[in-house]
Chain A
């Protein structure tokens, strides 16, 4: 007879199952993924560090290499979470039909989205540290607060991964990603206080930067390394709120796509 113990929502075996699939698959593409997620922000760091560094000696009391070395942590987090989330979930849904296979097992959309976001966030937590380590080699002083960086990167990565999954669930064709990248991701990436402080921007851009989750990630990373203050609770709160909202929206839209 059928046993009556019903699996609940977001239950652990389902999340584990999806995570195991991701981890096993990671074994076949980790080189490429690690390369692109760490090398690209490092190139930004070096290019801006040497390029602007020769013009600008300090920003907000920090050496420019310290400023940009901490800022590009957020860039690494963004790139290693939002892009894999956008392309990865789209390909798994539309081309590989992976989600059809998973949904035939005792796993629901909510668990797929959550596990995917957690896994990408974990990777972002690691990859996010790469520019910081490179910056240390170029003169950023090691600090105890750097131990917080993987956790900050994880929280931010979860938000951006969820955001990427949401985008992939909304768009119709894989070509449409370029619209989102040009009009949303690139501006967010630039107006986040990564390469230049937002204090020099016109007021409207400062306001935009303040609703940019990436800006809060940049600030939190910087201040974790150079000294935390009460305002960082606000930055943290903003990132957590962004993550939770993006996560629930991603589930909502993905469910509309997968179950009909």
Chain B
């Protein structure tokens, strides 16, 4: 049984189709990265999974429960880390966790242990009595994650878990998420950071315009869509246009990277190849190729 299974899910808001026939599977015990540019339907997908949005078409199953009818039972066994910080800022770290032990129905006898364990996961043991508005951004994020784990959920949803954080904090959170994964939880993580998906996800689902455009292990996706090597050709804009036109003429896949033109599948180029730097192809190449969009 999969932890999450979406089949041909459609969600419309008026004339806008936010999710457009999405298939998505999270095999039990794995981490799946939902990778897509802003507006690809990632947030709507996350809302569908907690039944805060109701699908117009298709079927959604979570931990064996059918949504939206059995959503409440599913929610009891999953933890959700929202993109927007919605901690109670005038409460202490411990009070925030206490409230969620009640919301997640942790039994009276287990409450204290659950709070201690969550503090431990978030590495906030020495801040348990601090008010949330006294915490740093990184600590608040860790608390937000810990809050979703007080009931030891079998499935964790992470909506853009490191958006807007500095690189150091991001790495801290990656370690935390990696630990979760190694402990056997099933994870669905939406992100628009390539590196995040590459490091944490067993499987990546690339979404664009509400639809899955590629599914696979990050390394497989790279080989399949971008080949093994990429050739970066630098130069003034006129030169870049020239290289691009020439490459197109010969049927070579390219992408623009601002200051350069990248020729993909560079390992197999034949004939006259422009001067440039060779580097291994990356998931970012795949992403831009498939979604047609530049990202961070």
Binding site for B on A (CB under 8 A): 1-3, 5-7, 13-14, 16-18, 20-21, 24-25, 28-29, 96-98, 100-108, 258-260
Q: Which residues from 56 to 92 on chain B have a C-beta closer than 8 Å to any C-beta of chain A?
A: 63-65, 70, 72-73, 75-77, 80, 82, 84, 86, 88, 90-91
Which residues from chain A contact B100 at a C-beta distance below 8 Å?
A: 105
CB of A106 within 8 A of CB of B105, answer yes
* Contact sample, A vs B, 11 pairs, CB 8 Å cutoff: A1-B1, A6-B70, A7-B76, A17-B99, A21-B88, A97-B86, A98-B86, A98-B88, A100-B82, A103-B52, A106-B103
CB pair A107 B103 closer than 8 Å: yes
**8 Å CB contact of B84 from A16, A97, A260:** A97
Scoring A7, A97, A105, A259 by chain B CB atoms within 10 A of each residue's CB, the highest score goes to: A105
Determine the distance from Cα of A103 to Cα of B46 in the docked complex, in whole angstroms: 12
Q: Give residues in B with beta carbon < 8 Å to A.
A: 1, 13, 50-54, 63-65, 70, 72-73, 75-77, 80, 82, 84, 86, 88, 90-91, 95, 98-100, 102-105, 148
Closest Cβ neighbor of A104 among chain B residues: B80
Chain A residues within an 8 Å CB radius of B91: 24-25, 28
A114 to B86, CA, bound (A): 21
Contact B77 A96 (CB under 8 A): no
Asked, given contacts A16-B102, A17-B102, A24-B99, whether A2 binds B77 with beta carbons under 8 Å apart, the answer is yes
| Cα–Cα, bound, A18→B148 (Å) | 16
**Bound CA–CA A21/B84 (angstroms):** 19
Q: Is the CB of B65 within 8 A of A105?
A: no
Q: Contact at A105–B90, with CB atoms within 8 Å?
A: no
Task: Check B103–A21 contact: CB distance below 8 A.
Answer: yes
Distance in Å from the Cβ of A96 to the closest Cβ of chain B?
6
- Measured between beta carbons, the chain A residues less than 8 angstroms from B51 are 103, 259
